[in-house]
Amino acid sequence: MVTPKASDAATTERPLRADAQRNQAKLIEAARAEFVEHGADAPLEDVARRAGVGIGTLYRRFPTRLDLLEAIYRNDVDAIAGRAVELADEADVWSAFRTWITEFSAYAVSKRALFQQLFDAIGKGSATMTHSRETVSAAMTTMLERAQQAGVVRADVSASDVTRLVGGCTMMGALEPDQAARMVEVVLDGLRA
């Protein structure tokens, strides 16, 4: 059993001041870029420098590296779910579905190493992992049901099916740069009604 961390309760904190929100966003963006370029063990001093803030600011917002990794993960999950909300009102339903699946697959490729590191550290039942599963599932369901109702996607697939198909295309190791995108295109061709 995984014990909830203090950061799992972070969502109940009072709202941040505007400058603190900006610093937090800069730190998350800088950490994401730094970790992509240099791995999740990149020095946090480099993250702070890249964000244009002091190391004290980083540690006030993210007392541990794990807190920072969780913030990046949650931020990315919320962003991909937000895209589903944006695209759900598009007139061209197939194009909206295709765009979201393509963006979802790029998100999944980018989170491979981060996911495993977080999963090993906090476990499947943590608030962060539960939030991720529920948020992605809801976004996938929204996009899929809309596409099925419009008759542009096969009616005999579930949101879980599509998530697993895309995940299977993106979570494998040693993919060529364009290979995941090509595989997702094959999945999209198979999903089209």
- Considering only CA atoms, which of 175, 96, 184, 80 is closest in space to residue 133? 80
Q: Determine what percent of the chain is predicted with pLDDT higher than 70.
A: 90
Q: What was the pLDDT predicted at 90? A: 93
Kindly report which listed range (45-54, 89-98, 162-171) carries the lowest average pLDDT score.
162-171
Measured on CA atoms in the order 71, 113, 86, 84, is the torsion positive or negative? negative
Structure tokens of 5?
């961390």
Which positions ≥6 away from 70 have C-beta within 8 Å?
7, 118, 122, 128
Name all domains of the chain by residue range, CATH numbers in brackets: 15-63 (1.10.10), 66-193 (1.10.357.10)
Q: What was the pLDDT predicted at 12? A: 53
Q: What was the pLDDT predicted at 36? A: 79
In the predicted structure, residue 21 carries a pLDDT above the cut 90: no
In the predicted structure, residue 49 carries a pLDDT above the cut 60: yes
Q: What was the pLDDT predicted at 189? A: 95
pLDDT grade, residue 177 (50/70/90)?
low
pLDDT digits 0-9 by tens, 50-59: 999 999 999 9
Q: What was the pLDDT predicted at 13? A: 62
SS (H, E, C) the chain: CCCCCHHHHHHHCCCCCHHHHHHHHHHHHHHHHHHHHHCCCCCHHHHHHHHCCCHHHHHHHCCCHHHHHHHHHHHHHHHHHHHHHHHCCCCCHHHHHHHHHHHHHHHHHHCHHHHHHHHHHHCCCCHHHHHHHHHHHHHHHHHHHHHHHCCCECCCCCHHHHHHHHHHHHCCCCCCCCHHHHHHHHHHHHHEC
pLDDT grade, residue 26 (50/70/90)?
very high
In the predicted structure, residue 124 carries a pLDDT above the cut 70: yes
pLDDT digits 0-9 by tens, 72-123: 989 999 999 999 999 999 999 999 999 999 999 888 877 776 777 777 778 7
In the predicted structure, residue 3 carries a pLDDT above the cut 50: no
Confirm if 6 and 125 have CB atoms less than 8 A apart.
Answer: no
Distance CA 178, CA 176 (A): 6
Q: State the chain's mean pLDDT as an integer.
A: 86
